[in-house]
């Protein structure tokens, strides 16, 4: 029985090595009904591999350093991969305030303003899904203290967060 358990564990472990988990985490934190902060967190080797394949660079570190020199590179990169829809308009993250690398992950921080107070926020999230078939993108939306979360994947990349259940003093007239 112990031998069977050991064989099962080894098979499971080897399948994890053959098909690693690829993930991103996106935190959207509304500090007021019209201002929010977005932090996009990506595993460094996933981002490097994606960029290497996409742009044909042999040394992804060189490409990353080129991108880090230009915030516009990253704004355009994320515009195609992750954005909000509010009613009929799309809101792309455009105010990139910080890029950092910590503990094997890249962090991209945006500080955004909106002209409307949303009742529903539709998020489109296809971060790295064109490259990794098993990509998982976890999103946390904190709207004035009410936290919602959703898991996105290659076949499920849009979700509508309902935020009209906010406290009465913050609701629109």
Residue 26 has pLDDT above 90, yes or no: yes
Query: What six digits make up the tokens of 21?
Result: 């988990």
Would you say residue 95 has pLDDT above 90? Answer: yes
Specify the 3-state DSSP secondary structure of 61: helix
Give me the mean pLDDT over the 65-70 stretch.
64
Higher pLDDT, 6 or 37: 37
Q: What was the pLDDT predicted at 12?
A: 38
Poorest-pLDDT segment among 13-17, 31-35, 106-110, 149-153: 13-17
Contact between 130 and 171 under an 8 Å Cβ cutoff? The reply is no
pTM of structure: 0.78
- Band the pLDDT of 68: cuts 50, 70, 90: low
- Note the pLDDT of residue 15: 37
Asked whether the predicted pLDDT for residue 125 surpasses 60, the reply is yes
> How far is the C-alpha of 90 from the C-alpha of 124, rounded, in Å?
10
Handedness of CA 120, 147, 144, 23 (dihedral sign): negative
Residue of 46, 99, 103 lying closest to 69 (CA atoms): 99
Q: Which of 54-58, 68-72, 103-107 has the highest mean pLDDT?
A: 103-107
First-to-final CA distance of the chain: 67
pLDDT at 166 over 50: no
Rounded distance between C-alpha atoms, residue 140 and residue 145, angstroms: 12
Query: Do residues 112 and 150 lie in contact, with contact meaning Cβ atoms separated by under 8 Å?
Result: no
Q: What's residue 163's pLDDT?
A: 81
Instruction: Please compute the mean of the pLDDT values over residues 80-93 and round it to a whole number.
Output: 84
């Amino acid at each position: 029985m112990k031998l069977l358990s050991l064989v099962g564990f080894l098979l499971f472990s080897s399948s994890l090595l053959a098909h690693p988990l690829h993930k991103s985490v996106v935190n959207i934190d509304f500090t007021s009904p019209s201002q929010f902060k977005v932090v996009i967190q990506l595993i460094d080797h996933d981002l490097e591999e994606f960029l290497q394949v996409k742009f044909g660079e042999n040394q992804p570190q060189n490409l990353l350093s080129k991108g880090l020199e230009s915030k516009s590179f990253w704004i355009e990169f994320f515009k195609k991969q992750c954005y909000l829809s509010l009613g009929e308009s799309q809101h792309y993250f455009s105010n990139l305030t910080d890029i950092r690398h910590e503990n094997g992950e890249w962090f991209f921080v945006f500080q955004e303003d909106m002209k409307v107070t949303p009742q529903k926020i539709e998020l489109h999230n296809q971060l790295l899904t064109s490259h990794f078939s098993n990509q998982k993108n976890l999103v946390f939306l904190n709207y004035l203290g009410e936290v919602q979360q959703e898991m996105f994947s290659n076949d499920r990349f849009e979700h509508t967060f309902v935020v009209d259940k906010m406290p009465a003093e913050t609701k629109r007239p």
